[in-house]
């Protein structure tokens, strides 16, 4: 338990690089029990090299239901009845190019990672978050507010994530769960 009684455990998706990796290492440095979702053993080894023994990597592909289930079961086994203090849905990709020429399969993949993957992970971990009256943090972007040319696929996925976060915030409010959008 944290200083104010909050559970100091967090799952971070997309922790192999960039913002996710920086968050995982910083929270580990602050004393949190971090479950860092990565998609390869190589990424896990690299992340673990810069972290304390508290940080645990878990293979987690947000587009793979069995990977999500395995990760949730691993975390549930580690946190037990205490539950999960936070989930940081950070995994994401950027698809850029003109919408008029974008193959629909490419657009679908953009949404699979940036939208449906976030929902799937949230649904899987919500019982653990509910136990701890924790929080859900969704990594959006300024592109979730302003769409620019050639970034239509990415911006539309972030607009969708923002709308879903707004709805989820209202749906879980009475359970004491906070839903927070981050727009770097």
173 part of the active site: no
* DSSP annotation of 112: I
Q: What is the 3-state secondary structure (H, E, C) of 89-100?
A: ECCCCCCCCCHH
Question: Pick the catalytic residue: 120, 154, 155, 159?
Answer: 154
Give me the residue label for tokens 């580690």. 78
**CA distances (Å), 19 to each of 22, 71, 182, in order?**
5, 20, 11
CA angle, 114 as apex, 15 and 166 as ends, to 5°? 105
* DSSP annotation of 116: I
Which residues are identified as catalytic? 154
């Amino acid at each position: 338990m944290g200083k104010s009684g909050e559970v100091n455990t967090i799952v971070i998706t997309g922790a192999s690089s960039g913002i996710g990796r920086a968050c995982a290492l910083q929270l580990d440095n602050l004393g949190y029990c971090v479950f860092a979702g990565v998609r390869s053993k190589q990424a896990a080894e690299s992340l673990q090299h810069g972290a304390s023994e508290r940080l645990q990597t878990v293979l987690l592909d947000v587009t793979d239901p069995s990977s999500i289930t395995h990760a949730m079961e691993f975390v549930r086994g580690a946190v037990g009845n205490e539950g999960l203090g936070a989930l940081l849905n950070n995994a994401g990709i950027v698809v850029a190019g003109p919408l008029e020429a974008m193959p629909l399969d490419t657009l679908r993949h953009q949404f699979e990672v940036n939208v449906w993957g976030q929902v799937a992970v949230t649904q899987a971990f919500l019982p653990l978050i509910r136990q701890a009256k924790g929080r859900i943090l969704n990594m959006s972007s300024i592109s979730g507010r302003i769409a620019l040319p050639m970034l239509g696929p990415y911006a539309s996925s972030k607009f969708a994530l923002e709308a879903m976060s707004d709805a989820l915030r209202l749906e879980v409010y009475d359970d004491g769960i906070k839903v927070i959008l981050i727009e770097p």
